[in-house]
Amino acid sequence: MYKKFILLLIVFYTITFTVFSNGSKENSGKNIALFIPGELSGSPVYQMLNDGVTKAVNEYNSNPKTTNKINLSIFEAQSNQAEWGKKLTALVAQQKYDVIISSNPSMPDFAKPILKDFPDQKFIFLDAYESGNPNIATIQYNQREQAYLAGYSAGLVTTDSSLLYANKDLKIALVAAQEYPVMNTIILPGFIEGAQAVNPDISVEFRIVGNWYDATKGAEIAKSLYDSGVDVILPIAGGASQGIISAAKQYGFYITWFDDNGFNKAPGYIVSSSVMSQEKMAYEQTKLFLEGKTKFGSAKTVGIKDGYVQFILDDPLFIKTVPESIRKKMTDVYENIKSGTLVLEQTN
Ligand code: RBF
């Protein structure tokens, strides 16, 4: 009698649970997780990612035709990279998210081992490259073009003695938060290539902060570079870049900005902005996913011709800070890349 009761109870719960879970799967909307590998604050790439994904989800949810709303959860993995694998695994292990969206070149290597245990998880990674993995879609920007434009503008500025803070040392610098393959093989060489296209005698210093948040360290490095004769710096250091901007204002040197429009960060000191259209890309990729059109397994590279790498030419602060002769040369080189006269391919 007792055994029969237990059996019935099991059957009852199995039926109830099955019906409930099937029902909830059919009727509920999708769950999307946004995994920020670091912190949103101070990192334009992550802020643009967040803005683009959020915009697509809000638009979808506010459409009167939408019956099943999308749930968007945002996770900041913080700065300790040794924890990112564990944090991403914990997120995947919830088996709740239809897709996990993230951005930076190291993400495929964090995701691939997790897929061995959770083979159904889907990922969309921007600013990353992984070809042929059926669970992962990636889009990267042509950062040789982006860095070349930064280098070219820095080269024009350091060789123009009419500019207030330009000296005659022909020394510029890239200050990065850390070394990583894209930095060492694409961004730094592209920056040097662009600068030396202006004048082959320009020398490029390369310094590492050691993390993506330490503004004090960023300022110290910038000061020592300034003392050694550097008059233009490209900071790619997340929150640490703020220290480099402060040093530019305090000591008097120029900044070429990367990833988003940085002119208003220090009017008069920012001489260029080489931008990746990450917000637009994040918006479009989220929309595509919601329409079921993501091409998992594919790896795309987009650049100036595609409209996803841009050089800001029309900002009033660019026009005010940078002499017309330099602006004209920047316009020309940008147009040459657009027209295919100057080809800067990125090889992975
Ligand atoms: N960029 C940021 O702005 N903030 C970050 O916290 C950050 N963390 C990164 C961590 C790793 C492991 C790697 C490979 C890149 C990181 N980036 C970060 C750099 C970013 O992906 C991109 O290369 C630069 O913003 C230049 O476009």
Whether residue 218 has its Cβ less than 6 Å from ligand 1:
no
Whole-angstrom Cα distance, residue 68 to residue 72? 13
* Edge-to-edge strand ranges of the sheet holding 203-208: 203-208, 171-176, 230-236, 254-259, 270-276, 309-311
Distance, CA 161 to ligand 1 centroid (Å)?
33
Whether residue 260 has its Cβ less than 6 Å from ligand 1:
no
- Residue 106: Cβ within 10 Å count: 17
Closest CA to 211 of 336, 92, 82: 82
User: Which residue segments constitute the domains of the chain, with CATH numbers given?
Assistant: 2-142+278-302 (3.40.50.2300), 143-275+309-339 (3.40.50.2300)
Distance, CA 104 to ligand 1 centroid (Å)?
6
pLDDT band at 28 (very low <50, low <70, confident <90, very high): low
Q: Report pLDDT for 10.
A: 39
**Is residue 52 a contact partner of residue 279, using CB atoms and an 8 Å limit?**
yes
- 221: pLDDT strictly greater than 60: yes
Distance, CA 210 to ligand 1 centroid (Å)?
12
Q: Which residue has its alpha carbon closest to ligand 1 atom 25?
A: 45
Distance, CA 238 to ligand 1 centroid (Å)?
7
Tell me the CB-side half-sphere exposure of residue 35, using CA atoms within 13 A: 30
| Residue 270 CB partners (closer than 8 Å, separation 6+) | 254, 255, 256, 257, 262, 263, 317, 321
What average pLDDT does the structure give for the chain?
93
Express each pLDDT in 34-92 by its tens digit.
999 999 999 999 999 999 999 999 999 999 998 899 999 999 999 999 999 999 999 99
Q: Indicate the Cα dihedral angle 310, 176, 154, 221, nearest 10°.
A: 150
Express each pLDDT in 98-135 by its tens digit.
999 999 999 999 999 999 999 999 999 999 999 999 99
Q: What are phi and psi of 138, to 5 degrees?
A: -130, 150
Query: In the structure encoding, which two tokens stand for residue 47, read together?
Result: 């802020």
Q: Which residue has its alpha carbon closest to ligand 1 atom 17?
A: 104
Whether residue 259 has its Cβ less than 6 Å from ligand 1:
yes
Whether residue 238 has its Cβ less than 6 Å from ligand 1:
yes
**Is residue 218 a contact partner of residue 175, using CB atoms and an 8 Å limit?**
yes
Q: Which residue has its alpha carbon closest to ligand 1 atom 6?
A: 38
Express each pLDDT in 280-313 by its tens digit.
999 999 999 999 999 999 999 999 999 999 999 9
Distance, CA 17 to ligand 1 centroid (Å)?
43
Long-range pairs for 21-28: beta carbons < 8 A, 24 or more residues apart: 27/68, 28/68
pLDDT band at 348 (very low <50, low <70, confident <90, very high): confident
Whether residue 43 has its Cβ less than 6 Å from ligand 1:
yes
Whether residue 45 has its Cβ less than 6 Å from ligand 1:
yes
Whether residue 106 has its Cβ less than 6 Å from ligand 1:
yes
Q: What are phi and psi of 339, to 5 degrees?
A: -80, -10
Distance, CA 269 to ligand 1 centroid (Å)?
23
Distance, CA 45 to ligand 1 centroid (Å)?
8
Q: Report pLDDT for 29.
A: 81
